[in-house]
Chains A and B, each alone.
Chain A
Amino acid sequence: MNCTGPSILTILALMASFLAPDSVHAFQSHAEPEALYGHQLAHAFFIIALAILAYWLRANRFTDLKGWFLIQVTCLLLILWNIAAIAGHWVEERIPDASLIGEPDWTQIIRLDTSPWAIYYYALKMDHLLCVPAIMCLFLGIRLLFRNALNEEVRKNG
């Protein structure tokens, strides 16, 4: 059996760690911004995945079919929504609590003079205007694909 350099070093390091114990940290503490960062990174990951899907659909000529084209539109709208969401979360962190006045219902108002970001916050809060059309495009695309497949099966089975 051959013992290469790195494997010998690994064994020696393990032995040293067993022979010279020190204080250990069982788990890492996570400060408050981590949740937001994690959420933002999830959005970023979602954007990348959607961009890749949109590219593959086009590269493989799936988008020649209207159903898949609508799904590609879904991807693009969701990418825009993700960008809006990332921006929204970022802006939310930058406006003071005093900007929002009143109970958090339809009677609540926002003061735009408290921060230059407040106007963006107001606009970006309406992100449903992007994600709802995206989901509707997904629904329409799948329904179209379903109908096409149904017609194909009917034609095939006479």
Chain B
Amino acid sequence: MAESYSLAPIWFIDVFGSMLMILFSFLSVWYASRLRKIQPSNVVWTYLLWLCVALAGFAVSRGVGHVAKRFLLLADRRDLWLMLKPYSGAINSIAFVVVASITLFFQRVQRINTAILNDKKALEEASAEVMRLNSDLESLVQDRTRELAKSERKYRRIFEGSMDMIFILDSAARFVDINRSGLTTLGYNRREDLIGTHFAEILAHREDCDRLIRDLDERGFVRDREYNFITKNGSLLNVLLSATGRKNEVGEIESYEGIAKDITERVHMERQLQRADKLASLGQISTGIAHEINNPLGVMLGYTQLLLRDHSAGTQIHDDLKTIEKHARNCKTVVEDLLKFARSTTTRKDPVRVNECLDEVVSLLAHQFELDNVTVIKSLSLDLPEIIADGEKLKQVFMNLLMNARHAIAGKGVISIRTEPGAADNHVRITISDTGCGIPGEFIGKIFDPFFTTKPVGEGTGLGLSVSYGIIQDHNGTIEVESVPGEGSTFTVSLPVPAGVKSF
């Protein structure tokens, strides 16, 4: 038969091809299923599984149709095949559409998967960062704590090691913290004794506190202001204060921080110098006046005495001349005192034992002190060295100081006398303290001025301390006073010891 070909190849390809289609499509489903299992979060694998399932369905619908057709026709069951054929074709067509529909979802699935993967990556990065922070947190905290501790130690050293007073007050101006130097300066042993105390309580003038706080609130700082602090034992300190007000983020004062420098010694020295200058000027004036008055007084006294020889006692003229002589002598005493203050009198300096001078003066006044209920306590150093001085003038100084002490004591009281060799310098120190009324602060700077007195008119000339000051100055010594009103005063005389003089 011309131009005729066997359909056997087609038959075999059809049957075996259909079987292979089913086989490989199911293998694809199996691998896609495993793929989805190992990476369940990847939506593309789910898509691939659906695609494979759809293709498997397509392969089955097609393959079964083809194989069934071949075998049914082979088995001479054309009628059965003709019945199944429409179903096979229809299912096959539906299978195409399903596979094609699923195929079209790829882009959407891929976008979803990309979004999920991006989110997952971001989540994993965030999680890794959290894990890293978590694991590093402890070491970070330790490092930061170590740094803070180091910083704290550094600033604590500065705070505690400062020679100046450093303190912190809260917003109500109460002590929160103060350094060791501050405690020592203010005379406190324990920080707790001062914490919580109002700042005004250590100020001599409480109104200074209000002014200071107001300035800090308004300006934020004050610089180098002088204040008087009161120590725990009541003594006054001159301090130079710089302070700042620390504000929070809303502008409210949180705390005040201050640095105070104790300038008591400096102020004391300055006052001494001022006083010395003033007294030196007064001395010069006094010398001039005294010399000018002394000569006419001498003439007046001489002529008075000559006239007294011409008039017998008991007459009116004699009595009047006596009165003139008395007042002229008083004036001469004052003039001599002024000359002593101005160190214009001659002094005869010999080796003197200060303790003996004091004993003589005390024994002279002992009876009167006893009558006045004043107890004298002597604490005289046995190894006090001799000094070169005018003993009589020193006795006059001690007499003046003791008499002033007695006058300061109203009623019963104690006068303490103490001598001691100077610890650092080559001086002897004589301290006379009383438990009297003390000297008001405003008088402290004037007590050595000539004619300054708080006694009633006629009871004192106001030259006692001036003369004492002049005598001590004449001996190259110093005389200082400390006084707490209401508690008493302490006069300290310091006299130089010549080189080479040994203690007893």
Contacts and interface: CB of A to CB of B under 8 A. Distances in A.
A108 interface: yes
Contacts of B92: 39
Query: Interface on chain A toward B: helix, strand, loop, or mixed SS?
Result: helix
Interface string A30-72: 0000010011001101101110110011001000000000000
B21 A128 contact: yes
B268 to A, nearest CB: 82
A10 interface: no
A110 B7 contact: yes
A128 B38 contact: no
A106 B39 contact: no
A66 to B, nearest CB: 15
B73 A103 contact: yes
A132 B21 contact: yes
B73 A138 contact: no
A56 B92 CA distance: 26
B5 interface: yes
B55 A50 contact: no
A100 B24 contact: no
Contact of B13 (A101, A108, A126, A136): A126
Given A42-B97, A46-B96, A135 B55 contact: yes
A95 interface: no
Interface string B1-33: 111111111111110111011001101100110
B99 interface: yes
Interface in B20-67: 20-21, 24-25, 27-28, 31-32, 34-35, 38-39, 42, 45, 48, 52, 55, 59
A35 B89 CA distance: 8
Contact of B96 (A45, A142, A153): A45
A94 interface: no
A42 B90 CA distance: 10
Given A111-B4, A135-B24, A153-B38, A56 B52 contact: no
Contacts of A57: 106
Contacts of B94: 42
A99 B100 CA distance: 34
B12 A106 contact: yes
A96 to B, nearest CB: 14
Interface residues of B, number: 57
A146 B7 contact: no
A110 B4 CA distance: 5
B17 A131 contact: yes
Given A43-B96, A138-B52, A109 B12 contact: no
Contacts of A131: 17, 21
27 contacts: A35-B93, A39-B89, A42-B97, A42-B100, A46-B96, A48-B100, A49-B99, A49-B103, A49-B104, A52-B106, A53-B104, A60-B110, A104-B78, A106-B8, A107-B6, A109-B4, A109-B5, A122-B7, A128-B16, A129-B13, A131-B21, A135-B24, A135-B59, A138-B24, A139-B24, A139-B28, A142-B35
Given A105-B74, A135-B28, A135-B59, 7 more contacts: A42-B97, A46-B100, A49-B99, A60-B110, A106-B8, A138-B52, A139-B31
Interface of A: 35, 38-39, 42-43, 45-46, 48-50, 52-53, 56-57, 60, 100-101, 103-113, 122, 125-126, 128-129, 131-132, 135-136, 138-139, 142-143, 145-146, 149-150, 153
